[in-house]
Structure 1
């Protein structure tokens, strides 16, 4: 009897975890770029390390398209400067909190 109850509650807990996981994954997340304005002067890098090459500098108030939030510290961004579009990574601190 105890074994049957233990099995029943284990399956019930597993089903609850699975249902909760399905609910969080069904949220609508858009993969389209979102325009943000920078609040400080920032740099667009070609990677997410200290050794990454600087692609361009971005002044404060410039509109940047954020294409993905890839890291705790970085976002993937697209910048158009002098008619040239560049893709790279910028620090999250370049943008206001939303």
Structure 2
């Protein structure tokens, strides 16, 4: 009888943990791009590696839309330059501290 009670209580604990994880996932909010101004001239890359192609150069003082902070060094941005919009990656150091 003790084994049955122990098993049932263990199942109850595991079920409550699963429910907590699902609730945490459902509370995530989707954010919209945030406008930032570059403080130095930076390059927009198509990836986050040394072999990444340069898409555009963003002059100091230009606004970009930061869509995601993807790593400790890069952010995913959307830039409008020369009448066309491009998405890519820029170094975090292009922006001042907030």
TM-score, length basis structure 2: 0.73
Task: Indicate how the Cα distance of structure 1 residues 54 and 8 shifts in structure 2: closer, same or farther if over 3 A, else same.
Answer: same
TM-score, length basis structure 1: 0.73
SS at match of 1:77: strand
Task: Indicate how the Cα distance of structure 1 residues 11 and 95 shifts in structure 2: closer, same or farther if over 3 A, else same.
Answer: farther
Task: Indicate how the Cα distance of structure 1 residues 8 and 35 shifts in structure 2: closer, same or farther if over 3 A, else same.
Answer: same
Q: Aligned partners of 2:15, 2:62: CA distance in 1, in Å?
A: 48
Q: Which has the larger radius of gyration?
A: 2
Aligned length: 98
Please name the residue that 1:3 is paired with.
3
Please name the residue that 2:30 is paired with.
30
- Runs of at least 5 residues in structure 1 that lack an aligned partner in the other structure: none
Task: Indicate how the Cα distance of structure 1 residues 14 and 53 shifts in structure 2: closer, same or farther if over 3 A, else same.
Answer: same
RMSD of aligned alpha carbons: 2.4
Please name the residue that 1:12 is paired with.
12
- Runs of at least 5 residues in structure 2 that lack an aligned partner in the other structure: none
CA deviation string 1:4-51 (max 9, x = no partner):
243233223312321221222122422532222223332110112111
